Amino acid sequence: MDSEKNKSLNTSQEIIIKGIGGSPGICIGKAYIVDREGVDVVHQYYLFDSDLDAEIDRFKKAVMRASQEMDDIIASVPSEYQEQLYILEAHKVLLRDKQIFDKTCKMIESNKINAEWALKKVSTKIKRMFNEMSDSFFRERGADVAHVTDRIMRNLTGNKQQEQIQDINKRVILIAHDLSPAETSQIQLHRVQGFVTELGGKTSHTSIIARNLQVPAVLGITGATEVITSDSIIIVDGTKGVIILNPNDESLIEYEEKKNIFELRRKSMIRHSSKTAMTPNGVIKKVMGNIELLEEVVSVLDHGADGIGLYRTEFLYMTSRKLPTEEQLFENYREVVDLIYPMPVTIRTLDINGDKKAGYLNEQAETNPVLGLRAIRYCLKRPEIFKTQLRAILRAAEHGNVRLMFPMISGVKEIIAAKKILDETKKELSNKKIPFNGNIEVGMMIEVPSAAILSDLMADYVDFFSIGTNDLIQYSLAIDRGNHDVAHLFQPLHPAIIRLVKTVSEAAHNKKVKLFMCGEMAADPFHVPILLALGIDEFSMNPPSIPSVKSIIRQVSTEDMSPFLEKVLKQQSPDDIIQIVQDTYGDLFMDTIR
Ligand code: PEP
Ligand code: MG
């Protein structure tokens, strides 16, 4: 247990780790590891003698997988961050430590209990032993045992859920392996001053939520839950995508200053944001906010939005224990509609499943959920659930300015089917003499490549398109939007994406269908000149990005952008396109928060 390597775990040296900037800004505070908490609840059961060998084998395999994970993590640590390696390698050694490995095997055999239970008993005993020691060095070894046994436990249970996640009740920087939308929805978000995750990229839900909350986030920090301990001080620089563990006094002073400058700049931009975004040649572009929760409407208003371009409604389904009732949905939508009135709210129907599961729906596990029974596919299969939501939306539309939008449409038949159910719902409300507004704009997301390719046909059925680049990029480039290993390949300025948007734009404008963009591509000021050249009529994004996007729109004339667009369309790689934007509009981005 006290190998040479373990001694190096007690480091209080400053360590800088580079990840992916998911949300800009800087925070300095105490870390709170959520992954470690989650595996505390384990199933306990007794075994027959005949099952003991297989159970020990299962435990050994879980250790092997944990060891393989550690190897992968170690191999992916960049050479400049060698300090982390000591900790990770020491954890790997601990996996096979007699006190843990041998004792768990023996415990399974002698007590005839399942591996999770045995491991829990063994690890609790060791952790207690360390915790009771007066020397702080040894007490910290208890935390190392927890890291290691939790990793084995996760491999045994396959459970990465954080059961205690909702219990966080202090202002912390959240450190997690990954945060699914379901997990994030259980956190008391106002308590979080920043996020650090091992997985995820710029468009993962952790990034989106962090940007909405205006808290910094750094994702893709390999081994974060291993190298960071709860209550240690860390700096998160979401603008640069860097975290600093155990910062020294110099770094603390430097980052305190950077934080103040960032906040002053953000405030000054927000002051100007409520003004219209009009290009120098007099074209007005609407810049709207995306929300997932009713509580975010305030942020939309504070950042000078021209309305809500995307209300992701699935969160209400994910935060409750059973399907919300029509009345609950109606009340929620009506409140949003009221708060934002007279500006519009674009309510997107349920985009459940994929990466946004609601446990109580008990749907069968899917091998490939983002290509599975998600969003409109689910709603068409479960029309009663779909109609309940549609009724609530149509009723809320009586009280303000509502647009309705269908997600994940992939072909003409789907939009026809969705609209048929909408019509039936209107008739049913009418028959029952329930007040509603059926005269609302109906649109669809363009986030599946087939919908982009068929947009000329789709245009006959809708009032507007809203391009969802988060999924459009994921599906077109075959890049998992939440996988940090391929996050560098998630490129909004990929020539294929630009061409798809151009196809949609031509179809929309030929058929007089309005063209919006509500994917995160619209939130990056650097993309604005290209999106203007491509004819996007309305932008929608995480509210904190609105001021900087408006500021760029005000500086780019849309008069004769065709030479610029032609040049862009000839390029073979995202880097070439970035270079052209930089050469043509580089001056605009000197002072922008990206
Ligand atoms: C998108 O895919 O771009 C989008 C806006 O939808 P979501 O992020 O909710 O999948
Ligand atoms: Mg989407």
Task: State pLDDT tens for residues 569-594.
Answer: 999 999 999 999 999 998 888 655 44
Lookup: tokens for 328: 């609950």
Residue 471 CA, ligand 1 centroid: distance in Å: 6
**Per-residue pLDDT at 31:** 92
Please name every residue paired with 20 in a beta bridge, in sequence order, or none if there are none. 219
Task: State pLDDT tens for residues 14-56.
Answer: 999 999 998 889 999 999 887 544 444 567 788 999 999 999 9
Instruction: Give φ, ψ of 35 to 5 degrees.
Output: -60, -40
Using a 6 Å cutoff on CB, does residue 482 contact ligand 1? Answer: no
Q: What is the mean pLDDT of the chain?
A: 87
Using a 6 Å cutoff on CB, does residue 314 contact ligand 1? Answer: no
Distance CA(273)–CA(548), nearest Å, equals: 8
Using a 6 Å cutoff on CB, does residue 296 contact ligand 1? Answer: no
Please name every residue paired with 441 in a beta bridge, in sequence order, or none if there are none. 403
Q: What is the mean pLDDT of residues 168-175?
A: 81
The most confident of the ranges 62-76, 149-163, 170-184, 319-333 is: 319-333
Ligand nearest to the CA of 497: 1
Q: What is the mean pLDDT of residues 485-509?
A: 95
**Per-residue pLDDT at 169:** 65
Question: Cis before residue 544, ω within 30 degrees of 0?
Answer: no
Lookup: tokens for 457: 């046909």
Residue 163 pLDDT > 50: no
Give the pLDDT band (50/70/90) at residue 516: very high
Lookup: tokens for 280: 């120098």
**Per-residue pLDDT at 35:** 59
Using a 6 Å cutoff on CB, does residue 351 contact ligand 1? Answer: yes
Instruction: Give φ, ψ of 98 to 5 degrees.
Output: -55, -40
Q: Which of 311, 471, 531, 542 to mutate to test the pocket of ligand 1 (most atoms within 8 A of CB)?
A: 471
Residue 417 pLDDT > 60: yes
Q: Which of 291, 355, 447, 545 to mutate to test the pocket of ligand 1 (most atoms within 8 A of CB)?
A: 447
**Per-residue pLDDT at 593:** 46
Dump the DSSP string for 111-122. HTB-HHHHHHHH
Residue 180 pLDDT > 80: no
Residue 7 pLDDT > 50: no
Distance CA(333)–CA(208), nearest Å, equals: 21
**Per-residue pLDDT at 138:** 65
Residue 421 CA, ligand 1 centroid: distance in Å: 23
Q: What is the mean pLDDT of residues 314-328?
A: 88
Comparing 406-420, 421-435, 447-461, 539-553, which segment has the lowest mean pLDDT?
539-553
Alpha-carbon distance values, 322 to 63, 319, 328 (Å): 37, 9, 12
Residue 518 CA, ligand 1 centroid: distance in Å: 7
**Per-residue pLDDT at 2:** 37
- Residues contacting residue 92 through CB under 8 Å, at least 6 positions apart: 67, 70, 71, 74
- Residues contacting residue 414 through CB under 8 Å, at least 6 positions apart: 376, 377, 380, 406
Starting at the edge strand that comes first in sequence, how are the strands of the sheet with 26-33 ordered? 15-18, 242-245, 233-237, 26-33, 172-176, 192-197, 217-219, 20-23
Give the pLDDT band (50/70/90) at residue 85: low
Using a 6 Å cutoff on CB, does residue 469 contact ligand 1? Answer: yes
Q: For ligand 1, atom 8, which residue shows the shortest CA distance?
A: 470
**Per-residue pLDDT at 269:** 78
Q: What is the mean pLDDT of residues 57-78?
A: 83
HSE-CB of 500 using CA atoms within 13 angstroms: 25
Residue 189 CA, ligand 2 centroid: distance in Å: 22
Using a 6 Å cutoff on CB, does residue 518 contact ligand 1? Answer: yes
Q: What is the mean pLDDT of residues 495-515?
A: 98
Q: For ligand 1, atom 3, which residue shows the shortest CA distance?
A: 468
Tell me the pairing of strands 217-219 and 20-23: antiparallel
Task: State pLDDT tens for residues 219-253.
Answer: 999 888 878 887 889 999 999 999 999 999 999 99
Task: State pLDDT tens for residues 371-400.
Answer: 999 999 999 999 999 999 999 999 999 999
As annotated, the active-site residues are: 205, 518
| Displacement of CA 319 from its chain's centroid (Å) | 16
Count how many residues are written for the chain: 594
Comparing 181-190, 259-268, 345-354, 455-464, which segment has the lowest mean pLDDT?
181-190
Alpha-carbon distance values, 587 to 56, 169, 443, 577, 592 (Å): 64, 44, 36, 16, 10
Neighbours of ion ligand 2 (CB under 5 A): 447, 468, 471
Using a 6 Å cutoff on CB, does residue 37 contact ligand 1? Answer: no
Residue 432 pLDDT > 90: yes
Residue 1 pLDDT > 50: no
Residue 371 CA, ligand 2 centroid: distance in Å: 12
Give the pLDDT band (50/70/90) at residue 168: low
Residue 355 CA, ligand 1 centroid: distance in Å: 11
Q: What is the mean pLDDT of residues 483-507?
A: 94
Distance CA(231)–CA(539), nearest Å, equals: 40
Give the pLDDT band (50/70/90) at residue 125: confident
Give the pLDDT band (50/70/90) at residue 259: very high
Ligand nearest to the CA of 310: 1
Using a 6 Å cutoff on CB, does residue 116 contact ligand 1? Answer: no
Instruction: Give φ, ψ of 443 to 5 degrees.
Output: -135, 180
Give the pLDDT band (50/70/90) at residue 6: very low
Higher per-residue confidence, 185 vs 191 = 191
**Per-residue pLDDT at 467:** 98
Using a 6 Å cutoff on CB, does residue 470 contact ligand 1? Answer: yes
Q: What is the mean pLDDT of residues 151-173?
A: 69
Task: State pLDDT tens for residues 435-481.
Answer: 999 999 999 999 999 999 999 999 999 999 999 999 999 999 999 98
Using a 6 Å cutoff on CB, does residue 312 contact ligand 1? Answer: yes
Residue 136 pLDDT > 70: no
- Angle at the Cα of 408 (from 403 to 409), degrees rounded to 5? 80
Q: Which atom of ligand 1 is nearest to the CA of 467?
A: 3
The answer to whether the CB of 173 falls within 8 A of the CB of 234 is yes
- Residues contacting residue 281 through CB under 8 Å, at least 6 positions apart: 557, 558, 559
Using a 6 Å cutoff on CB, does residue 468 contact ligand 1? Answer: yes
Lookup: tokens for 375: 């969003």
Task: State pLDDT tens for residues 192-212.
Answer: 899 999 888 777 777 877 887
Q: Which atom of ligand 1 is nearest to the CA of 208?
A: 8
Q: Which of 204, 312, 318 to mutate to test the pocket of ligand 1 (most atoms within 8 A of CB)?
A: 312
Give the pLDDT band (50/70/90) at residue 133: confident
Residue 265: how many CB atoms within 10 A of its CB? 15
The answer to whether the CB of 534 falls within 8 A of the CB of 493 is no
**Per-residue pLDDT at 39:** 42
Q: For ligand 1, atom 4, which residue shows the shortest CA distance?
A: 468
Please tell me the pTM assigned to this model. 0.67
Lookup: tokens for 460: 């006959």
Nearest to 564 by CA among 529, 588, 590: 529
**Per-residue pLDDT at 265:** 83
Q: What is the mean pLDDT of residues 78-101?
A: 73
